[in-house]
Structure 1
Amino acid sequence: MLAEKELSNIQSPSLASEKNVITTPIEGEVVAIETDEHTHSLSQRVTRKCDFRLVPILCCLYLTAFLDRANLANARLLGFENDLHMPSNGYNTALWSFYLTFTIFEVPSNVLLSWSKCRPNVWLGTIVFMFGTVTVCQGFTKSAGGLYACRAIMGTFEGGLAPAAALLMGQYYRRSEFGIRYACFTSSALIGSAFSGFLAYAIEYMDGIQGIAAWRWIFIIEGLLSVALGSIAFVVVPGFPADSKFLTKEEKAYLLHRLEVERGVEATSFKDIKWTKSIFNWKIWINTLAYFCIDMSAASISSFSPTILKQLGWTSAEANIHSIPIWLVGAFIALNTAIWTGKVGVRFPFVIAGFIISIVGWAIELVQVPNSAVRYFALYLIAAGAFLVLPILVLWLNNNIVGRPQKAVATALQIGFGNSCNFVASNVFITGEAPRYPTGFKTGLALTVVGLFAVLLNVFLLQRENGEMDRKEAAGERNELDFEGTEGMRFRNTL
């Protein structure tokens, strides 16, 4: 196993031109790789093995996480508020109690995962197993207070999943490769939410089996699925690239080489990290603001779309069924956008388009078009814009931050504080304002407009910083931004 100290001291792989051989230190020895047709087949094999080992299991974990997160909205239609004698704002309290702990524990979780002694399989397997167990417990709670407690404990564990998976995945892929893989990961959550609607529709017919209400079966069945997948994660989830066991020495050496060619030798230790500079990096906070604003759309769709659909005139079962295509359309758009943004090599045009689409959807909902079909279509616009933008914002920030510890903190801050918009969504859709929800729709529209301006500011500042680095390079001056977090690597921001 390549120790962290050894990895940090690796110099750029040497290339002997007369023999066309790459030499890369790996596991205490130098591995030589010929740079001929063999390299191309080796590259394809390495990518394929990484895809097979990483993407399916991480997608399954995130899918079940969203099943457990979104099932509260579906279970609401089956009457848990009445059974638990909850107050009028009890549903909102159940939502924000989850996101309170969810937000608090995202950054500590990623910091712990980046620690060299913490193995990703143990960390991810543990948190998924635990929040699945707590989800099952929700099915047996007898009071509103018990539900609030379960949701808060769930948030403690689930908060670490998305940033941890994004960090692990980002360590295996180059910029051009990461986008579509991360889009598959985020789309699995949308598919999970769609699947949750279908399960809720089917489980409604289990009402009374073994004397258990249908809404309780939702929590029990979906929680057991998470427990099973968490157990599998202990075995399947790999370590970071230098510690991976599913690659041969030659494959691992080539993977580390091609990552180093793009990134330089990234820092992997928390020693000598300038924490103040890293935490207060303007790139993190502008991206986080944009993420926060667009997440208002995603959070509202997740928590309130079944309720809004029922108020359009459908039954509980019909409302759950009609929520499914909203998520599936969002997943389709997210995947295809990831493919195109990878091809063109820029992020911001797609992000701006997503914000505009969501703004149109919020505006339609706010003016309360009397036609139910138009309001239903507006939900698609709100969701499509959000699900287009959210994965790209994570990719965009990941592309413009170097060093594993810095990326760990940046990703956790972005997703953690960005997801805190769920507090807003949980409290602005006031039960007494149904079905018009003026406070909720005005807030959604205003935040989405603010997010659009944050994106425009981010583009301006990234372009200015790139220009400054170009100027210093032309003048022969040393540029700290060029080498920050890498050894001898030319760096430019991705727009």
Structure 2
Amino acid sequence: MASLFGTSKKAPGPPEGEKIKSSHVEDVSNQADEKAQGDYSGATKKTDPVEIRLVRKLDMRILPILWAMYFLNFIDRNAIANARLNNLEDDLGLVGTQYNTCISILFVGYLLTQVPSNMLMSSKKIRPSLYMSICMGSWAVVSACTALTKNYIGLLMVRFFLGITEAPFYPGALFLLSLFYTRKEIALRISILYTGNIMATALAGLIAAATFSTLDKKHGLAGWQWLFIIEGVVTFGVAGLGLVMLPDHPLTTRWLTPEERQLAHDRIIKDTVNSEASTGPMAGLKQAFCDPRLFLMAFMQNMHLSACGFNNFFPTVVGSLGFGRTMTLALTCPPYIVSGLASVVIGITSGRYNERTWHITLGMGVAVIGFVISCVTLNTVARYLSCFLFASGAYAINSVILGWVSATLGQTPEKKAASLSFINVVANASYIYTAYLYPKSDGPRYLTAMSSNAGFGFVTIVCAWILRWWLQRTNRKIQRGEIPGSHEGLLYAY
């Protein structure tokens, strides 16, 4: 048969059965090498059952309590937006832009303490579980005190101190997640956490509507006063659960076994590009500020949150559709439910494919379309559809950006903590000026705000592509040996 097909002579080899066996072994080896090598950035998928069980345990203990805390964080912060629909301004005698100032003053206090707070958490001198629970109990008390305010100055002071007491939570939560989850895992976990924000905004209107309809004027208190009291009491109760459920650092978390603690620590070190030894909070802050990528990522997140500035005015925006108070509060819910689903889907796909740029482009592209529709038409159906588009598109990418920060600027825990808090400070500064983009005189179209939001969204997309090019360039330098990496084949993800 060999001569019939004109084949050339071959060197003698093993019997056919042995050839098949050898080929099979070679295939398995190649597959194993492929798994060990990981994707384009060197990130690998979990295959060890012990590691899978550890991650499942972390999910069951960390995510529920962080989600509940974030849910109440935004319920308390944004209760003022719904209180406005229950005559808050008239009861306190607010005029002109005083309400807007009370919105923006929260973020002055909020921005002052974030970086020092995360530096303290990364120092390992305090237990994050204790620290974050105390902060939550503090903001619960301050938020409830809003019910006692009698005028503009009183509301202004309460909002300022609410910002100070709420400030440690979100950057602290991001830091905790970054200590326990790898690059491929963290986007989904941040997106799950962020649904706490989304669902709080979605349900806040329904909670407020129920409170106003049942308790308004009861025992001499207005409905908006009861709203702050009830939400403050619930928040204080959940703060007690945080003492038991929140983790500390991987090597010191009490509800992990010694073996689990070591594995939790080792797998994050293995996943960190250019990992370095811990050098202390001040050195971490210096490392962060010496990395120019920090400022591009801070600007990108600032533009993203500037586009999300509609959050504090969403009931007002929906109210411009012309419905009554109760219907307006109910209509705020569906867009946020869809946003929560979109956020989880984006988090899953971003983690699975270890990709950020196209996810940001898609999400903000949809948001920009929504903002433009809101600008160009007064049609009720079209404007309500635009609420779904800009809320879903803008909110969905938050986890992608913050996961990108953690993966790119996490060479030490201290640098990671400082970077996350600084970027959150710069980003949340947007709420100081975006509060003035929604004057009542601009209703119902709010052309200034919506056109600005479209511009903010476009700039966010541009920043993502600049960062992608920058990281690709850095990866080529790592591959050429110009930038030594701590793990062979481990590159920055984009």
TM-score normalized by the length of structure 1 = 0.86
Q: Name the CA shift for 1:489/1:69 in 2 (closer, same or farther; >3 Å).
A: farther
Alignment of 1:78-157 (within 5 A): 78-157=86-165
Deviation for aligned residue 1:431? 2.1
Corresponding residue to 2:344 among 289, 312, 335: 335
Name the residue aligned to 1:493: 492
Name the residue aligned to 1:420: 429
Name the residue aligned to 1:268: 278
1:444 aligns with 2:443: no
CA distance in structure 2 between the partners assigned to 1:395 and 1:61 by the alignment: 20
Deviation for aligned residue 1:334? 0.3
CA distance in structure 1 between the partners assigned to 2:284 and 2:78 by the alignment: 38
Deviation for aligned residue 1:489? 6.2
Alignment of 1:384-399 (within 5 A): 384-399=392-407
Name the residue aligned to 1:192: 200
Deviation for aligned residue 1:384? 1.1
Q: Could you list the per-position Cα deviations for residues 222-257 of structure 1 after superposition, in whole angstroms to 9, with x for gaps in the alignment?
A: 111111111221232121101011111222223233
Deviation for aligned residue 1:136? 0.3
Contact 1:347/1:396 (<8 A) preserved: yes
Deviation for aligned residue 1:271? 6.8
CA distance in structure 1 between the partners assigned to 2:243 and 2:98 by the alignment: 36
What letter matches 1:268 in structure 2? S
1:299 aligns with 2:275: no
Q: Could you list the per-position Cα deviations for residues 280-329 of structure 1 after superposition, in whole angstroms to 9, with x for gaps in the alignment?
A: 422221121111112123221x2111112222111111111100111111
1:231 aligns with 2:256: no
Structure 2 unpaired stretches of 5+: 1-46
What letter matches 1:200 in structure 2? A
1:352 aligns with 2:361: yes
What letter matches 1:419 in structure 2? N
Q: Could you list the per-position Cα deviations for residues 184-204 of structure 1 after superposition, in whole angstroms to 9, with x for gaps in the alignment?
A: 111111111112111011111
Contact 1:330/1:384 (<8 A) preserved: yes
Q: Name the CA shift for 1:52/1:266 in 2 (closer, same or farther; >3 Å).
A: farther
Name the residue aligned to 1:50: 58
Deviation for aligned residue 1:278? 2.0
Q: Name the CA shift for 1:266/1:235 in 2 (closer, same or farther; >3 Å).
A: farther
CA distance in structure 2 between the partners assigned to 1:258 and 1:277 by the alignment: 23
CA distance in structure 2 between the partners assigned to 1:95 and 1:46 by the alignment: 41
Structure 1 unpaired stretches of 5+: 1-38
Contact 1:194/1:328 (<8 A) preserved: yes
* RMSD of Structure 2 on Structure 1 (CA): 1.8
Name the residue aligned to 1:173: 181
CA distance in structure 2 between the partners assigned to 1:134 and 1:413 by the alignment: 25
Q: Could you list the per-position Cα deviations for residues 340-362 of structure 1 after superposition, in whole angstroms to 9, with x for gaps in the alignment?
A: 11111111110011111111111
Contact 1:88/1:431 (<8 A) preserved: no
Contact 2:141/2:232 (<8 A) preserved: yes
CA distance in structure 2 between the partners assigned to 1:410 and 1:202 by the alignment: 41
Q: Name the CA shift for 1:455/1:322 in 2 (closer, same or farther; >3 Å).
A: same
Deviation for aligned residue 1:128? 0.7
SS at match of 1:242: coil
Deviation for aligned residue 1:44? 2.7
CA distance in structure 2 between the partners assigned to 1:421 and 1:143 by the alignment: 26
Deviation for aligned residue 1:277? 4.5
Name the residue aligned to 2:5: none
Contact 1:266/1:404 (<8 A) preserved: no
Corresponding residue to 1:289 among 299, 321, 330: 299
Of stretches 120-129 and 280-289 in structure 1, the one that deviates more from structure 2 is 280-289
What letter matches 2:127 in structure 1? R
Name the residue aligned to 2:462: 453
Alignment of 1:14-33 (within 5 A): none
Q: Could you list the per-position Cα deviations for residues 110-160 of structure 1 after superposition, in whole angstroms to 9, with x for gaps in the alignment?
A: 111111111101110011111111110001211111111111101001111
Contact 1:159/1:416 (<8 A) preserved: no
What letter matches 1:281 in structure 2? D
Contact 2:374/2:383 (<8 A) preserved: yes
Larger radius of gyration: 2
What letter matches 1:145 in structure 2? I
Deviation for aligned residue 1:433? 2.2
Name the residue aligned to 2:21: none
CA distance in structure 2 between the partners assigned to 1:61 and 1:332 by the alignment: 19
| Identity level (%) | 24
Corresponding residue to 1:317 among 326, 340, 348: 326
